[in-house]
């Protein structure tokens, strides 16, 4: 008999402003870099990164067009307009935490203004207040795949050190305004994705003259510094604030027991953990410095940078978990499957989702134990869920047993990890409500416990319906996990 979930465990759901809010030009909001990503003309689930970038020409076309047709993230799933209805549904679900993000462009529309936009600030204040009244703790990502477009086109995104100052002004504004309303903050969503999808994560546009990788590492350095500043300010504003980093954790298994495969898996794991090494331990690990040396990457640092990183490390480590990956010294002989952000060698032991992602509940236990053993700081699973097509039956119900099965098996693995000794703050599934996919911009790649009547072209009533999984999760939360059996 394993121990259960601890008292005060933060059961919740998660989503991001750029994928659910819509209302892209309402109440003074500026254009974000997500608002100009067009619907993909063709889906390629293996080369997923290609769907997450745009060119200068595409941006110019998007800026000249005022409307939502062809730009799914401008519509989201109408959560800005329907915030009260959604907050009521979340209260009914009984969640203890809502992981969400603030749209930077609602607070500083172009990112460079001296004064914030009061309409944007007031919106989130109303929402946080309502959540707290319902006993829901907001867990807020300061920048989740969203930054003002102006900072991308005029300043060059996070590669430019000036962006740190704009982020810090934004972060300080919200940290002060929501003092007492929000106590859990994440500085950046999946910070490692700056190396994988540099446009979506760091606002970097391609330049044929300048290879992307060194620019991405420079951008990351600036994001780490910005994160440390935000952590410093959060602690100054309210010592009760808890700040987390956020990693898309991708545990690599070796394809075989050949030591060369094992070494390659270890190398890829270390490279994935370089980000938490900086943000939790406070220093760049040797493997990254070696990588820079061997690839001719020179990072521009200023005096005091490394001290700042060392001094203002995060309080907890949050991460998304969707799958595990497979590594081999010679990957060319293996078949590939799709993946979150990039494809991987197909693991013959694991089934895959409709989008080709490995399904691996046991891997979540492996991941939790690895992270806990390495860092010994509280962990928080802030994303885990199944993207799937859902059918509405003639009686209007959605019987998403596939999602219930996914969550059941992943949460059983979580319970085992807690019994192993992992200190886990909470679990917020992705997502509470159907939203626009980050990578494919589809609504029909559904993650929610609440169905939204909308298709990929934006047609539909946007009305909300509780799926079968809603009732299942509600019971689970009410029993603090005991109904898992």
Q: Contact residues for ligand BGP (CB under 6 A)?
A: 16, 19, 145, 189-190, 248, 320, 340, 383, 387, 430, 437-440, 445
Contacts of 262 (CB under 8 A, 6+ apart): 254
The minimum distance between CB 431 and ligand BGP, in angstroms, equals: 8
Rank residues 117 and 187 by Cβ distance to ligand BGP and give the closer one: 187
CB of 382 to ligand BGP, least distance (A): 9
For 123, phi and psi rounded to 5 degrees? Answer: -60, -50
Q: Are 140 and 185 in contact (CB under 8 A)?
A: yes
Please report how close the Cβ of residue 18 comes to ligand BGP at its closest, in angstroms: 8
Nearer to ligand BGP, 260 or 354 (CB): 354
Which residues are CB-contacts of 444 (< 8 A; sequence separation ≥ 6)?
389, 455, 456
Active site residue 159: no
Exactly one of 21, 159, 383, 416 is catalytic; which is it?
383
Question: In this structure, how many other beta carbons lie within 10 angstroms of the beta carbon of residue 156?
Answer: 17
Give CA–CA dist 104/148, Å, rounded: 7
Q: Is 228 or 439 the residue whose CB approaches ligand BGP more closely?
A: 439
**Cβ of residue 20: shortest distance to ligand BGP, in angstroms?**
10
User: Which of 39/340 has CB closer to ligand BGP?
Assistant: 340
What residues form DSSP beta bridges with 446? 388
CA quadruple 35, 37, 38, 39: dihedral, nearest 10: -100
Distances (CA, A) of 4 to 9, 12, 426: 10, 17, 13
Q: What are phi and psi of 396, to 5 degrees?
A: 90, -5
Minimum Å distance from CB 340 to ligand BGP? 5
350-358: long-range contacts, CB 8 A cutoff, minimum separation 24: 350/324, 353/386, 353/387, 353/388, 354/387, 354/388, 354/389, 355/45, 355/387, 355/440, 355/445, 356/45, 356/46, 357/322, 357/323, 357/387, 358/323, 358/324, 358/325
**Least distance in Å: CB of 338 to ligand BGP?**
10
Nearer to ligand BGP, 141 or 228 (CB): 141
Nearer to ligand BGP, 184 or 415 (CB): 184
Q: Give the residue numbers marked as catalytic.
A: 383
């Amino acid at each position: 008999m394993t121990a259960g979930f601890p008292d005060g465990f933060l059961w919740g759901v998660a989503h991001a402003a750029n994928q659910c809010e819509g209302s892209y030009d309402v109440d003074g909001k500026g254009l974000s870099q997500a608002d100009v990503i067009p619907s993909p003309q063709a889906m390629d689930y293996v080369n997923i990164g290609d769907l997450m970038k745009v060119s200068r020409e595409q941006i110019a076309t998007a800026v000249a067009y005022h409307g939502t047709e062809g730009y799914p993230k401008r519509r989201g799933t109408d959560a800005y307009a329907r915030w009260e209805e959604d907050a009521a549904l979340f209260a009914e679900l009984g969640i203890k935490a809502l992981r969400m993000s603030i749209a930077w462009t609602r607070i500083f529309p172009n990112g460079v203004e001296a004064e914030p936009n009061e309409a944007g600030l007031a919106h989130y204040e109303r929402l946080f207040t309502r959540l707290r009244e319902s006993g829901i703790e907001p867990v807020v990502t300061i920048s989740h795949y969203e930054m003002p477009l102006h900072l991308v086109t005029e300043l060059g995104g996070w590669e430019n050190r000036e962006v740190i100052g704009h982020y810090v002004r934004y972060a300080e504004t919200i940290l002060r305004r929501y003092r007492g309303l929000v106590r859990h903050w994440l500085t950046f969503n999946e910070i490692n994705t700056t190396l994988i999808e540099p446009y979506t994560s760091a606002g970097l546009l391609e330049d044929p003259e300048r290879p992307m990788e060194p620019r991405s590492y420079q951008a990351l350095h600036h994001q780490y510094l910005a994160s440390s500043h935000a952590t410093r300010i959060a602690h100054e504003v309210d010592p009760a604030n808890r700040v987390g980093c956020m990693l898309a954790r991708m545990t690599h298994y070796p394809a075989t027991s050949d030591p060369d495969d094992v070494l390659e898996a270890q190398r890829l794991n270390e490279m994935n953990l370089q980000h938490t090494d900086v943000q939790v331990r406070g220093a760049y690990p040797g493997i990254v410095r070696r990588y820079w040396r061997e690839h001719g990457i020179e990072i521009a640092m200023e005096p005091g940078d490394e001290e700042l990183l060392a001094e203002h490390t995060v309080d907890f480590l949050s991460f998304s978990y969707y799958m595990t990956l497979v590594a081999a010294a010679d990957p060319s002989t293996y078949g590939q499957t799709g993946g979150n952000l990039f494809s991987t060698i197909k693991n013959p032991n694991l089934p895959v989702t409709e989008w080709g992602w490995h399904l691996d509940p046991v891997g979540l236990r492996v991941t939790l134990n690895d992270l806990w053993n390495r860092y010994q700081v509280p962990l928080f699973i802030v994303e885990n869920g199944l993207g799937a097509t859902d059918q509405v039956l003639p009686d209007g119900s959605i019987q998403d047993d596939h999602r219930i099965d996914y969550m059941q098996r992943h949460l059983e693995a979580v319970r085992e990890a807690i019994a192993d000794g992992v200190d886990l703050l909470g679990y917020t599934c992705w997502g509470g409500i159907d939203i626009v996919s980050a990578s494919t911009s589809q609504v029909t790649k559904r993650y929610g416990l609440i169905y939204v009547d909308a298709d990929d072209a934006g047609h539909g009533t946007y009305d909300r319906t509780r799926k079968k999984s809603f009732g299942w999760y509600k019971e689970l939360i009410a029993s603090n996990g005991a109904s898992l059996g």
